[in-house]
Chains A and B, each alone.
Chain A
Amino acid sequence: MTIENKLDPVAVSPAKASHSRAPIAIAVVLAVLFALAPLVIKDQFTIQVLLQIVLFGALGAAWNLVGGFLGRVSFGHGVFVGVGAYTTILLLQHLKLTPLLGIPAGALISALLAYIVGGPTLRLSGHYFAMATIALLQIGLLLMINWDWAGGAVGLESPIGDAPWMLQFRSKVPYYWIAVGMGLVTFLVTYFLVHSRIGFYWRAINGDEAAARSLGVPAERYKMLAFVLSAALTGAWGGFFAMYIGFIDPDSMFSLTMSVQMVLVAILGGVGSLIGPWIGAALLLPLSEGTRVMWGSSGLGLDLLVFGLAILLVTMFLPGGLVTLRGRRGSA
């Protein structure tokens, strides 16, 4: 109990909340409602924005395991998106392997990569960890640009077709349904992790690592677990993202902007809150997609300008995230 008192109030979910299963019921109902949306909404753009909300909500939720609950801010999570995306597409192109297996493979390789780089980086604190993750992202980006077998700077296309078992659809709607399903799974995974002993250890390490260690929390192992699980989830979404957009290149997959967008949806919604990233995505994505559609074609980069301004304004005026608006009880 002594540890818990030291924790950031936003990051701590009260122990009694862990017994409530209400969030799961709400998540399932929301997922069903989201899944039914295409029956009512025929507008492609709206479906696309809804999909992006789910995608970035999930990416933010995955990031949040490390960034929110463990308190290690990674600015390089895009590297796992890239690894998942490239694994999936490369397996599809060279071995004709279905993404149904390619996406899990991407998650696995992302997890493996996290395990390898977690050793040197997770020992780092604060800014050093943030910088090291950016360095990882840059290494990934530069290696992919120079790796001709993987398409080099030009990138790769996934074959266009109508093959459900290859996750190839001409319409966006099936992708949307897959995203909603994966989104629900992602929420459930994060929910059970955070409310398990693992999650309490994470928050204890976040609150005061030395104190947690002295109470017998195997900090190294649990930090690694958070990083690996977060990477696996991110990698799986990277694989899905690649199939969805059908074209990948190093700049868009190993992108610092996308890495920051994951951080941003989590921060906007509320760091260390289970529903935070989803709320954040629901607010940010319509904004950034909307500006892209309105001004993106002008070639002036106004959409990016709006994105930058959004970051600036959110952090300045709402540093605790949207969930703090309803009092200090932050968690789902």
Chain B
Amino acid sequence: MFEALTAGLFNGLIYAAVAVGLALIWGITDVINFAHGEFLMLAMYAAYWLFTLGHIDPTMSAPLVAILLAFVGFLTYALIIKRLQKGPPMAVILATFGLGIVLRQVAFIAFTPDYRSLPDTMVSGSVSLLGISIGRPQVVTGLVALVIVVALFWLVYRTRWGHALQAVAEDRDVAALVGIAPDRVNAQVWMLGSAAVGLAGALLTTFFYVFPSVGLVFGLLAFVAVCMGGFGSLPGAFIAGILIGVIEAMTGYFVAPALKTVSIFILFILVLWYRPRGLFGRW
């Protein structure tokens, strides 16, 4: 049981890392990026090809992948989101959803539907923690996820730039009045959030298969984490991410592996029932 719990905890850290990028974008630009899972997929393929063709280990290529994804995030914002922000909120959701489908199908055509995995990476093997054996890639990814989350917290809550972000989230027009350029801040948020998912995705390849619809697996859970944590709340997304990992593992252990995702969605609806704005409300 402790084995399942620990595994759930580390999985939760990974969900959290995928989710915080989404939470950041959602919280500040008020856009749900339904292509977030597909961004993760792109990051995983980038890391995969860098390893296969360039022999760069995912642990090393992660920053590179992050930069690449930041660029993807920038393009998405500049080409699609920016022009839709004044329209009906639904339009933005649908547009990112459409983008997700396009990215997924392009990956399907470009990379075939095959499941791919990386052979020995630098972090393969397993470690034992207090007598519990756990895959080393999971541990490394979990710890890096923790670092990503802490770094984002620090950026958003402790730096001048972070205060500007929060100001834009609070009131775009007033922020513009005090000399913050909302469009620029939004673009930066999209880059940062996408870079975070880039890091997470690169590391994920050390122990998870890469395939065109891998984004669906993690994307939906990331949405649930962000929603459950509370509108754009970074701590909320982090804690909800971990919670999801643990609940999933516990349901798999005590009830049935096939039902572990169901329990998360049910929990999600229950949370929203009692706290319609998520566990941690709004900043």
Q: Which residues of B contact A316 (CB under 8 A)?
A: 80, 83-84, 91, 95
Report if A315-B105 is in contact (Cβ < 8 Å); known contacts: A131-B227, A138-B220, A310-B98.
no
A14 at the binding interface (Cβ < 8 Å): no
Q: Which residues of A contact B26 (CB under 8 A)?
A: 127
Find out whether the CB atom of B84 lies under 8 angstroms from the CB atom of A319. Answer: yes
Q: What secondary structure prevails in chain B residues at the interface with A? A: helix
Asked if B259 CB lies within 8 Å of chain A CBs, one says yes
Pick the contact of A73 from B93, B231, B270, B276 — CB < 8 Å?
B93
Given contact pairs A123-B276, A312-B98, A305 touches B109 in the complex (Cβ within 8 A)? yes
B224 x A135 contact (CB < 8 A) = yes
A-B pair count, CB < 8 Å, reads 135
Q: How far is the CB of B29 from chain A (nearest CB, A)?
A: 12
Within 8 A of B (CB), among A113-141: 117, 119-121, 123-128, 130-132, 134-136, 138-139
Is A90 close to B, CB under 8 A? no
Contact A312 B80 (CB under 8 A): yes
Q: Give bound CA distance, A158 to B101, whole Å.
A: 31
Chain A residues near B273: list those with CB within 8 A: 119-120
**Is B272 among interface residues, defined by CB-CB distance under 8 A?**
yes
| Contact partners of A310 in chain B: CB under 8 A | 98
- Kindly specify which of B48-56, B58-66, B196-204, B261-269 makes contact with the partner chain: B261-269
Q: How far is the CA of A307 from the CA of B105 in the complex (A)?
A: 10
Known A120-B273, A138-B265, A312-B80; judge A271-B88 contact (CB<8 A). Answer: yes
CB pair A139 B265 closer than 8 Å = yes
Contact, CB under 8 Å: B88 / A305: no
- Expressed in whole angstroms, the minimum distance between the Cβ of A323 and any Cβ of chain B is 14
Question: Does B99 sit at the interface, judged by CB under 8 A?
Answer: yes
Task: Indicate whether A264 reaches chain B with its CB closer than 8 angstroms.
Answer: yes
Q: Write the A140-172 contact mask toward B (1 if CB under 8 angstroms, else 0).
A: 001101100000000000000000000000000
Known: A131-B224, A311-B94. A120 touches B269 (CB 8 A): yes
30 A–B pairs (Cβ distance < 8 Å), ordered by A: A67-B90, A120-B269, A125-B276, A126-B89, A128-B272, A128-B278, A130-B93, A132-B272, A134-B220, A139-B266, A142-B261, A145-B258, A260-B97, A267-B90, A267-B91, A267-B94, A300-B105, A305-B101, A307-B101, A308-B105, A310-B98, A311-B95, A311-B97, A312-B99, A315-B92, A316-B80, A316-B83, A316-B91, A319-B87, A320-B88
Q: A130-B93, A260-B97, A311-B101 given. 13 additional CB < 8 A pairs?
A: A73-B89, A120-B270, A127-B231, A131-B32, A139-B262, A300-B109, A301-B108, A301-B109, A304-B104, A308-B99, A308-B100, A309-B98, A311-B97
